[in-house]
Amino acid sequence: MLDDPMDRDYPRPSPAEPGGGPGGPGGHDGGRPVRKDEIELEERGLYIESWLPERRSRRRPLLFVHGELTGSWLWERWLRSLAGRGWEGHALNLRNHYWSKTADPATLSFDTYLDDVVAGIERLGPDPVVIGHGMGGLLVLKAAAERTGVAGLVLVDAELPADLRPPVKPHVVRDVPVAYGRAVLGWDTLPEKLQRENRDLTLDDVLRIQHLLGQKPRESGRARADMLAGVPVARALLENVPRLVIGSGLDGSAAAVAAERLASWLGAEHEQYGAHSHYGLVVGTESHRQVTDRVRAFLETHHL
């Protein structure tokens, strides 16, 4: 059985690590050389993994926010690709995730995660671009609408806000465990089965995701219950912020319908990837490329 990644001594990226060849540890995907750095928000116990162009540019910094049970590792391919093309990228680890400080999941909630996201945005300076996946998408949406200024917003298979969620029965919210692991996400099964269900992922992709999702209950049940009950978002406050919604799945699937509804509700640009899975949008060896190209076009169009 695989060991738990949270219990391993993972090497952290060294500051100013020189760029390597394309696709290498400090490398790039056909762009400029990349170096790695880190930001620690010690008062909150947060670790931010940074991938930077070797030469600074005037482009807006990007803050990436992961979803349930993941961490900055989720964004590695996006970070490399966009840094190689001139954007500095900073991937936040929420409390009790990956390299950030361990905490009791029972003490965490959607609001405590939201505070982490706001702290990350404010650390990068005025008006960065924020990008979120899954739960991270709802977190950056809420933060951008109500807590702090951003220059742009990219939501990748994001959880829906209260206005777009169907009513949920109280017992469904009550039955969420205090803490949960990858089984709740459907990832505690045979890798070959997961690869068949997520055809844009290689078996190596699946093994990496499954391993890094961990095995022990690590995620905050309160945060999941908060999302199920409905997190309100004041969308009117985002009218002047460029917005892009990205979805996975074929037309008519639950994920595709959710992305379409979110884009319509926000008045946002919308891109749907029918052959992509939830994680394939971000970590797929090949499938991530098409998505990062679309995000890059969005950033360039809006001069971000």
- Domain coordinates of the chain in residue numbers? 31-301
How do the pLDDT tens digits run along the chain, 304 residues long? 333 444 444 344 433 333 333 344 344 455 677 899 999 999 999 999 999 998 888 899 999 999 999 999 999 999 999 999 999 999 999 999 999 999 999 999 999 999 999 999 999 988 999 999 999 999 999 999 999 999 999 999 999 999 999 999 999 999 999 999 999 999 999 999 999 999 999 999 999 999 999 878 999 999 999 999 999 999 998 999 999 999 999 888 999 999 999 999 999 999 999 999 999 999 999 999 999 999 999 999 999 9
The two three-digit tokens of residue 262, written as one number = 């979110």
The interaxial angle of helices 221-229 and 135-146, nearest 10 deg, is 70
Class of 31-301 in CATH: alpha beta
Q: What are phi and psi of 292, to 5 degrees?
A: -65, -30
What count of Cα atoms within 13 Å lies in the side-chain half-sphere of residue 279?
29
- Interacting residues of 288 by C-beta distance below 8 A, sequence separation 6+: 77, 78, 81, 280, 281, 282
Q: What is the pLDDT of residue 21?
A: 35
15 burial type by CB count under 10 A (0-12 exposed, 13-18 middle, 19+ buried): exposed
What is the CB neighbour count within 10 angstroms for residue 196?
A: 10
Give this prediction's pTM: 0.90
